[in-house]
Structure 1
Amino acid sequence: MKRIFSNLLNKKNKKLKFSLTGLLIIAATVSVSSFLQSTTTTSQINDNTAQFGTSYEYQATITPNILYPKGGTVDVENTIFKKITTAIPINLTSTIKSDNEVTAAGTYEIQLIVKAGELWERVFPLQEKQVFELKGTELILIDNNFDIALTEINSFITQVEEETGIRSDQYLLEVVPTINGTITYDGKEMPIPEQENLVFQSSYEEIVLISDKSFTSAIPFTSSEIITNTFNFFGTALPLVPVRIISMILSILLLLPIIYLNASLVATRKKTSTTQVDKINKKYGSRLIPVSQKINSDDKTMITLQSFKSIIKIADEKELPIFYYRTHQDGSAVYFIADGDYLYRYETVKLTIARSTEEILDGDEAYAKV
C-alpha cells in the first residue's frame, strides 16, 4: 500500500512539475520581452511648417543692334550676349509662407561677387543692409530690383588684367543675398536657412546662367510627445511596468516549487535505489556472508535469479549460505549461492533504476534463468 501511494504521489508530482514548467516558460518569456521593450517612446509632432523661398527674375539692357534695333531692356533666356549688353536688371524675392502665423526678424543685404577662378574675387554691394520684422502667414522679406552694371564690371576686369598681366578664361558673377535672422512660432525659434545664389558664367563673348532661378526649403516646427508603451499580451494591451513586475515575481514563485519538486523527485529516486541493498542486508543480514570479490565462475554453470526471494528459497532448500559483494561502480550488490558446479546468482538493480525495495524482496518474477 505504501509503495502504491508513493508511486501515485510521484506521478502527481511529475504532472505538477510539468504544468508549473509550462507556466514558468510563459512567465519568463513575458518578463524578458517586457524588459527588452522600452518604457516610453518619444514621438515628434509637426506643429507648423514654414516654407522659405527665394526666386530671381532677370532681363538684359542692350544697346541698339541688328537684332534689337531699339535696344533697351528685353527678356532673355539663359544666354546673354556680352558685347551688346550693358546691364542685367534683376528682381530678387524672398518669402516665408507657413500654415500658422509666424514672426520673422533680422537683417539682409545683397552683394555681387566677381570671381576669377582661384585667382581673385571682388565684392560689389547691390543692396545695403536692411532690417526687417514681420508677422503673418505670408511674409515678404526681400522684394528688390537692382542692376548688375556690366559696363563697370567689364572695366574693372580689364583693368585687373592690364595691371596684373593675368587673365582668366572665365569669370563668375554671383548674386549673393545674405539674410541673418530667425523665425519664431509658439515660443520656438528657428534660424532662417542660408540662401542659394544666382550664378552667371562670363566668357569673352557671352554670359550664361549656370544656377537655378528659384530655391525652396522647409522650416519645420516640431514638439516632442512622450508616449508610455504597453505590452501586447495575446491582443490585449497591458501597462508595461506592472507587466514587468508581475511577470518577474510570478517567474520566481513558479521557479521555487519546481526546484523543490525536482529535488524531491531526485531524492525519492535516490532513496529508492540506494536503500535496496541496505534493506536486504538489514532483513537478512544474519544469513549473508560478505566477500570482497566475486567468485570465479568460469568452471561453474551460472544461473541468474530474477528475485531475491528465489535466493532465499534455494538457500533454505539446500541449507547453503548466501554470499554477497558490492559493485562499487554503480552501488548495486550481487548475491550468490555456490552449489557444486552450479552458481545461483541475483544482482540488485542499479542506482539509476527506480524500483521499490518491496519488489526486490517480494517480487513474483520467474524463479531463475540460465
Structure 2
Amino acid sequence: MLAVGECGEVPVGAVEGAGGLAHVLREHELVVGARVVVRHRLPDGSASDALGELAAADGEELVVTTRRGEVRVRRADVLAAKAVPPPPRRRGAPHEAVGTDELEAVMAEHWRPDERVDLGGWRLRAAGGFTGRANSALAIGSPGVPLGEAVAAVEDFYTRRGLPPRVAVPHAADAGPDAPAPARELAARGWAADTPTLVMTAALSALPGAAAVPLPAGCSVAGSPEPDAGWLGLYRYRGTTAVPPAGRRVLVSADAQVFVRVVEGGTTVAVARGSASPGWVGVTAVEVAASHRRRGLARRLLAEIADWGRARGAVSAYLQVAEANAGARALYGSAGFAVHHAYHYRVHPGA
C-alpha cells in the first residue's frame, strides 16, 4: 500500500459539544451548496444541530436550509460543523441508495471548475475548456425557470466565455437519452447527444486492497497529493499529454485527492486520481501505457485508491466510464463496481 500525506481534512479547532463529546470544525468543508450539519449553541446554553444545504457563509454567520426552514447560526455559536453525504433515496447500501441527482452533486465536488453559476438546481460550470465535466451545465433538479429560458441562459453563459454551450444530462441507465425533459427540449433545438457515459458505484468494503493485487516484477507504486511530472506526462487529455493550467487547477480541486502512479525503471507506466468527499471516494484519470496493458496495473490503481478512501473513512466509491468502452466496463465490473445511472452531453448545434 502506498504512503501519502493527508491533505484536505485539516482540523481548524476542537471544542466541547453536547454530551461532553469533542467535535472538530471542518472549515474547508463549509462550501455553499454542500449538505452540512452544524452543531450550534442555543441562547439557553443547550446545543442543536442544523442539517441541510449550506445556503450562505461568511465571517459572521452560516445559513443552513433545513427541512423545517432556514436556520441562521452566528459563527460565535458554532460548536462543530462538517459536510455530510446526501440522504438515501431508497433502501440499500449507501452506494446503491443514493439518488441520481444527489450522486451527480457529490461527483461535481470532486471535479470543481474555476467558475460556477447556479440556475436553480442547474450548475453552469467553466474551466477554460478542460473536460466536459468542468465545462458544461449540469442539469439536476429544476432550473427555476421555463426550459426555454434555461437553455437561453446556458447559451449566453458559455458564449460570453468563448466556450461551446454544453449540457450534462443524467438519466436512468435503462432509459434512452431523450427520456429526461431537458434532453427532449435540447434535442428539439438541434443539440446533439455526445459522449454517453455510465456512472458505476461500489461499497468500499467490497473492493480489494493493494495487498491483494500484486504488482508485476520490477514495478513499484507511489502516490502524492499533487501530480508530478511523470503523472502528468502519462495522463491523456484529448489525445495529448499537455494539461493546460486550468486542467491542473481542476485536478486538485476536490476536498482531498491522491495521484497514484506505477513506475518501472524510472518511468511512469500507469496513473490514476483518487478524490474524496464525505462518505465517498472517486476514481478518475485512469491511464495505462499501451506497452503495459493487461498486466493488472489498472486493478492495482483501483486497489490503492480504495485503501486511501477507506483510510479517510469513506464507505462508497464511484467512477465514470464511456458506455462504449467495453474493456474498462468489464474491468470495473470484475473489481466490484455496478452501474448506478448514466449521463450524456447535449452540444449546441453551432459548436
TM > 0.5: no
- Give the structure with higher Rg (CA): 1
TM-score range, shorter chain: under 0.3
Higher strand share: 1
User: Which structure has the highest helix share of the two?
Assistant: 1
TM-score in terms of structure 1 length? 0.17
